[in-house]
Structure 1
Amino acid sequence: MTLQFEAFCAGGLAPGWSLTVQGHADAGEEKFEINFLTDAGDIAFHVKPRFSSATVVGNAFQGGRWGQEEVSSIFPLTLGEPFEMEVSADAEHFHIYAQEQKVLQFPHRHRPLATITRVRVLSEHRLAQVELAKRSLSWGDGGY
């Protein structure tokens, strides 16, 4: 697979970070994955849509071994069509959305989150846009 995007997360990952990927799922291509990497070289979170089985798979690679896969059969992606995937993080989970529909919630297996410092998107699909952003998390009425 071709590395299409790589970014450094200044200060490491924290609740509020999100990654949005937009592209076109070229017919006949199934190769697309997102990896959140640690300073030590582990993959703290790996997410991959599998068009052949219409599933989204999440996993982590730590200490030289893959963990137990978490598989979702919620799969709103279609080969030959444009797609959008978003991965966001809160204090406890990664949340994965495809076409604005939640497809998977994956508990953090690697802590502290701040040691997750890089994001890579590997793909054979045509990507139109990749955005990594840190959004503030807020709650309440703002003092009104």
Structure 2
Amino acid sequence: MALQFEAFCSGGLAPGWSLLVQGQSNSTEDKFEINFLSESGDIAFHLKPRFSSSTVVANAFQGGRWGPEEVSSVFPLALGEPFELEIHADATHFHVHAQTLKVLQFTHRHRPLAAVTRVQVLSNSRLAQVELAKRHPSWG
């Protein structure tokens, strides 16, 4: 997969940060991935929607090892169709929404959250928009 987007979070991630990814999968690409990386190179949050199994897989890579996968079968995405995916961070979780439906809630495994300083989106499809922004932390 090709790196489509990379951003650095000045001061590190904090509650209220949000990543919005909009695009259209091609009719053959099975997956794309989003990684929130720490200063040490660990992956604090890894998200991979898998079209072939209609699942969203989340995990963290710390100290050279992957942790236990968390899998959601709430999957409102379809190959070849436009999609919108948003990830919000609060003090305890990453919250993932796709097409406005809540897909997954992932407990922060990497502390402190401020050590997460980089976000990457990898995909072979062209993305229409990727935005990393600090939003109001009390979203519902």
RMSD: 1.0
Q: How many residues align?
A: 139
2:81 maps to which residue?
A: 81
Instruction: Give secondary structure in 1 for the equivalent of 2:58.
Output: strand
Residues 34 and 138 (structure 1 numbering): CA distance in 2 closer, same or farther, change over 3 Å?
A: closer
Percent identity over the alignment is: 76
1:2 maps to which residue?
A: 2
Task: Work out whether 1:127 is the aligned partner of 2:127.
Answer: yes
Unmatched runs of 5 consecutive residues or more in structure 1: 140-144
Whether the aligned pair in 1 keeps the contact of 2:17 and 2:137 (CA below 8 Å) is no
Distance apart, 1:126 and its partner CA = 1.8
* Whole-angstrom CA distance in 2 between matches of 1:102 and 1:47: 14
The 5 A counterparts of 1:7-46 are 7-46=7-46
Unmatched runs of 5 consecutive residues or more in structure 2: none
Residues 52 and 14 (structure 1 numbering): CA distance in 2 closer, same or farther, change over 3 Å?
A: same
Distance apart, 1:30 and its partner CA = 1.5
If the length of structure 1 is used for normalisation, what is the TM-score? 0.94
Q: Detail structure 1 runs of 4+ shifted over 3 Å in the superposition.
A: none
Whether the aligned pair in 1 keeps the contact of 2:16 and 2:138 (CA below 8 Å) is no
* Whole-angstrom CA distance in 2 between matches of 1:42 and 1:132: 20
* Whole-angstrom CA distance in 1 between matches of 2:33 and 2:91: 23
* Whole-angstrom CA distance in 2 between matches of 1:75 and 1:135: 25
* Whole-angstrom CA distance in 1 between matches of 2:31 and 2:126: 11
Residues 138 and 69 (structure 1 numbering): CA distance in 2 closer, same or farther, change over 3 Å?
A: closer
1:60 maps to which residue?
A: 60
Distance apart, 1:125 and its partner CA = 1.5
Encode CA deviations 1:47-102: one digit per residue, 9 max, x unaligned. Answer: 00001110000000000000000000000000010000001100000000111100
Whether the aligned pair in 2 keeps the contact of 1:14 and 1:91 (CA below 8 Å) is yes
If the length of structure 2 is used for normalisation, what is the TM-score? 0.97
Residues 126 and 110 (structure 1 numbering): CA distance in 2 closer, same or farther, change over 3 Å?
A: same
1:110 maps to which residue?
A: 110
Instruction: Give secondary structure in 1 for the equivalent of 2:29.
Output: coil
Distance apart, 1:138 and its partner CA = 4.7
Encode CA deviations 1:20-42: one digit per residue, 9 max, x unaligned. Answer: 00000110111310000000000
The residue identity in structure 1 corresponding to 2:94 is F
